[in-house]
Every structure is written in C-alpha cells, then in structure tokens.
Amino acid sequence: MKINTQTKLYGLLGYPLSHSFSPLMQNKAFEECKLNNIYIPIEARPENLETIVKGISKMNFGGFNITKPYKLDIMKYLDEIDDYAKLIGAVNTVNIKDGRLKGYNTDGTGFLRSFEKSAGTKIEGKNVFILGSGGASRAISMTLALNKAKNIYICNRTYDKAVELSNDINNQLGNLSRAIPMEHEIMKSSINNSHVFINTTSIGMLPDLETPIDKMLLNKNLIVCDVVYNPRKTKLIVDAEDVGCKVVLGLGMLVYQGIEAFEIWTGLRAPEELMNKIVDEGLKQNG
C-alpha cells in the first residue's frame, strides 16, 4: 500500500474499539480494486465525539463506519440522513462528499444480502421470528418488513421493548408485526408458524457457549440465522444443523454490511468473495 497526498481516508468510529475485522476487510478490498484509500480505527471518547466528527469533515476522509455506542449519537452531526437509515433510526455508515456528511444504515441490508445468498431464497412472503429487540433487531426487522416479509414476530426478554419495536414496525410499514413474550408455549406456536428464525441477541458469543433457544423449539423446515459471528458456528447453529435446518451464519451480516458500505463509498461493486474469505479465515483462526 502506497500512501501519498492523494490517499483518501476511511475508518471505524467507536468507543472503546475492541477487535474488528473491518480494517483488514476494507483495506484488502481497496487494494484489490486498486484504490488509493486507507481504512483506520478511530477511537473517540464520548466527550470528543463532536470535535472528532467535525475534524473528519475537514480532512481528506471519504467516509467512515460507526459502531457502538455511537450509531444514534452520530445522527446529530450529519448534514443528511438517507430515508432508510431514518426509518431504522440509526446510522452505521457515513459518506462524505464536498465536505457534507450523509448517513446510511447497512446493517439490515447487509443481513438481507447474506440471508438471500446463504439461504438461496427471498424474504418476501415469509413469516419471521426474531429474538431480541435491540439495535440489530430494529435494523433487521425494518429491512425485512420493507422487503415484504409477511409476518414478523418480535420476542424479547423485556417484553415492553418487543411491544415498542413491534408497534414501530406496524405504525411505519403496515400491520405485520406482533410482540411475543418469552414463554415456551407461545414461542413454540409462533416458531411453528414461521419460515425463518433469527437470533439478534448476543447469547452464544464467546466465551459464552449458550444457545438463546431450546433446541426442542426448532424444526427442520426453519431457516435459522444468527447475528453472533464469534464463534463462527454458535451453539444455535450447531443445534439447527443437527435438526436439519438451513443455516445463515453471523459472519455473513458482518461481511455484507461492509460490502454495502464499500459500494456506497466507491460506487463500485465490492470484491465479495475476497471480503468473505478474509473474515472467514480470521474467524477460523479465532477457533
């Protein structure tokens, strides 16, 4: 990689920044496409966020990604927010053009692209059971609703939050969502009525090897998706494969949210296979 006065900067803004595959994945993609770009980590303490974002807008940045805890806070500092990110209410990607910052959300569309590729089917007409109602669930559920999922069941430990997200979906996109309490029998009947099961909670992430759902609730007709990518195959995914389900690993969402960001920044088709391979190899090394 040659850095010179023409090099455009990209980065990952968050605090604290723990291990991330984004720098490796984006830098390899820039290199593959022969772009004079570089992607760096930008750790911003909360009291410095505004100053840092203003600084970025005055420097030779082409854009950046936003991770925890700033996906909501960042919106205050942007000149424009894409309609789709507005609907989700969070921004994970910013594109900078002529000093103007425009926010996007690629988490939900990243999930959808990963789903369609791994499951080999569209979400249109499907009933979807989503566990969790935090930021990842909001991005995914809104995207699936927009892409014509038929029914969306939101199940969460804190039932009130499931009701809130479900109401938001219904108010903005039509009456297709229902909140489900975390009770075995109620979960069972809505899962039996679903084509797709998605875990958006962090249960199953290393070092915890738990599963968010009793294996007995799964059936072989379900497509089971996990947003947890570390370990590469969570206990949920292992259980689902054992039952005979099609599975969608969390690494897909991780890669495709980056692919979508790359495409927004460069206007080019991202080197999908290479980006998938880099993250896959990195996760295999982690065990």
Give me the active site residues, please: 71
Least distance in angstroms from the C-beta of 102 to ligand ATR: 22
- Name which of 95 and 137 has its Cβ closer to ligand ATR: 137
Integer Cα distance of 30 and 238 in angstroms:
34
CB of 213 to ligand ATR, least distance (A): 10
Residue 239 vs 266, nearer CB to ligand ATR: 239
Nearest-CB residue for ligand ATR: 134
Structural contact between residues 39 and 27, judged by C-beta atoms closer than 8 angstroms = yes
In this complex, which beta carbon is closest to ligand ATR, that of residue 208 or of residue 263?
A: 208
The helix (H) or strand (E) run that includes residue 17 is: none
Q: How far apart are CA 199 and CA 197, in angstroms?
A: 7
Find tokens 């259980």 and name the residue: 239
Q: Which is nearer to ligand ATR, 56 or 136 (CB)?
A: 136
The smaller minimum CB distance to ligand ATR, of residues 60 and 158, is found at 158
34 C-beta neighbours (distance < 10 Å), count = 6
Binding site for ligand ATR (CB under 6 A): 132-137, 156-158, 161, 200-203
Cα–chain-centroid distance for residue 72?
15
C-alpha–C-alpha distance, residues 278 and 286, integer Å:
13
Question: Min. distance of Cβ 241 from ligand ATR in angstroms?
Answer: 22
**What does the alpha-carbon distance between residue 25 and residue 188 come to, in Å, rounded to a whole number?**
39
Minimum CB distance to ligand ATR, residue 278 (Å):
22
SS3 assignment, position 247: strand
Burial category of 39 from C-beta neighbours within 10 Å (exposed 0-12, middle 13-18, buried 19 and up): buried
**What is the DSSP-derived secondary structure letter of residue 81?**
E
